[in-house]
Amino acid sequence: MLMLMRAGIVGASGYLGAELLRLLAGHPELEAAVLQADSSAGEPVRSLYPGLLAAYGDRVLDAIDLDALAACDVVFLAVPAGRSQAIVPGLLAAGAPLVVDLGPDFRLRDPAAYPQWYGFSHEAPELLAEAAFGLVERERTALFGARLIAAPGCYVTAASLALAPLVAAGVIANEGVIVDAASGTSGAGRGLSAATHHAAVNENFSAYKVLSHRHTPEIEQAIGATVCFTPHLAPMTRGILATCYGRLAEPGALSSEEVMAVLEQAYANETFVRVVADLPATRDVHGTNCAHLSARVDPRTGTVVVLSAIDNLTKGGAGQALQAANVALGLPETTGLPVVAVTP
C-alpha cells in the first residue's frame, strides 16, 4: 500500500486553509494529516465547510501543537500577518523539514519594511534571507531543497507574472509602473468586517488602501521596478484581474505582437501560465491554479498594458503554495492542481 506524505495545516479554518483542504483531497502523494487552528480548535471541518464533508467526514480541528506539525513532511501556515513569525522558528527548531508560509511574514527581504507596511517589528529577521520566494515560475530553482518558503501575496502573483518578464527583458522601464487590480471578497479572509459585508460589496466597486497597500513593496521586490498600486474590491467571491501599465523603454520599439512574444517565450514551458490572444477574465481561471495573461501596446502613448487574471485563493494562495511544496518535495510540480475552470 502506498504511503502518503503527511501535510499539516495551521489555520485550516480560514479560506486559504479550506482551499488547501480542497486541493489536498485530490492530491495522490500528500494527505492532510494534521489540521490545526487557533480560535476554531475543536470545530468539525464539516461544520465550517460542508462542501468538504465527502473528503474529511467528522475530522475536527486541533489546537496548535508544534510537535505534531514537526512530524509532517510539509507544514502549511495559513494564518494572519504577524502570526507566522512566532511559529516558524519553533517549527524549524523542532525539525520540520519544510514549512510553507502563505502569509507575508517572510516575503520581504528588508526587516525594516515590516514596521512601515505591516505595523510590526520582525521577530525572526535572521530567517528572511533563508526563505525562498514561492512564485514558482520566476523563482523555481530557489525552491529545490528549501526548508522555508514564503508564498507570494495574491495581488503580487497577478502583477508579477504579468510584469516581471517585461522588466527583465528591458521591454518596459523600471519606474513609473502602475498596477490597478480588482479582487473578490474572499481575499479579505473569513473574518467579518463592515467593508466586506454583502450589503457593502454587492452592486458596488471601490478602491481601498490607495498608496498604502501592504503588497506594494512585495510587487516592487518581485519585479524590480517602482510601482504605484491601487487595489479594488469587486462584487464577486473569487478572482483577481490586474491591469498593469508600463512605459516602453524605447518608444515605438515594439508592437503588441512582439510584447506578447516576450511573454510567450517567458512562459513557453509553464503549465499554469497561459498567454492568450483574448482579454483575460476571472471566470476563465475560476477554481484553477492558472494565470491568463495578455498584452497590448498603445503606440500613441508608448504604453504597454498587460492584463492578468488569477483565482486569488488558488493560484494566488493555496494552489501556489502547494505548487511550491511539490517542487521542494521533489514531486511533479502539477500534482493535485486543477487546470480546468469551473464554468459557466
pLDDT digit string (tens) for the chain, length 344 residues: 578 999 999 999 999 999 999 999 999 999 999 999 998 999 999 999 999 999 999 999 999 999 999 999 999 999 999 999 999 999 999 999 999 999 999 999 999 999 999 999 999 999 999 999 999 999 999 999 999 999 999 999 999 999 999 999 999 999 999 999 999 999 999 987 888 888 889 999 999 999 999 999 999 999 999 999 999 999 999 999 999 999 999 998 899 999 999 999 999 999 999 999 999 999 999 999 999 999 999 999 999 999 999 999 999 999 999 999 999 999 999 999 999 999 98
The superfamily CATH assigns to domain 154-312 is Dihydrodipicolinate Reductase; domain 2 (3.30.360.10)
- pLDDT at position 209, please? 95
Q: Is the dihedral of CA 74, 342, 233, 264 positive or negative?
A: positive
Judge if pTM exceeds 0.85.
yes
Phi, psi of 2 (to 5 degrees): -65, 130
Q: Which three cell numbers stand for residue 273?
A: 501560465
Which regions of the chain does DSSP assign to beta strands (E)? 5-10, 30-36, 74-77, 99-101, 132-133, 148-150, 177-183, 206-207, 227-233, 240-247, 273-275, 291-298, 303-310
**Where, residue-wise, is CATH 3.40.50.720 in the chain?**
5-130
CB 307 within 8 A of CB 241: yes
Q: Which fold has domain 5-130?
A: Rossmann fold (3.40.50)
SS (H, E, C) 282-304: HHHHCCCCCEEEEEEEECCCCEE
**How many residues comprise the chain?**
344
Integer Cα distance of 230 and 252 in angstroms: 27
Q: Which residue type is seen at 100?
A: V
By annotation, the residues acting in catalysis are 154
CA distance 34 to 38: 14
- Which residues in the chain are classed under CATH 3.30.360.10? 154-312
According to the model, what pLDDT value does residue 192 have? Answer: 74
What is the DSSP code string of 304-331?
EEEEEEE-TTIIIIIHHHHHHHHHHTTS
Give the pLDDT of residue 1. 53
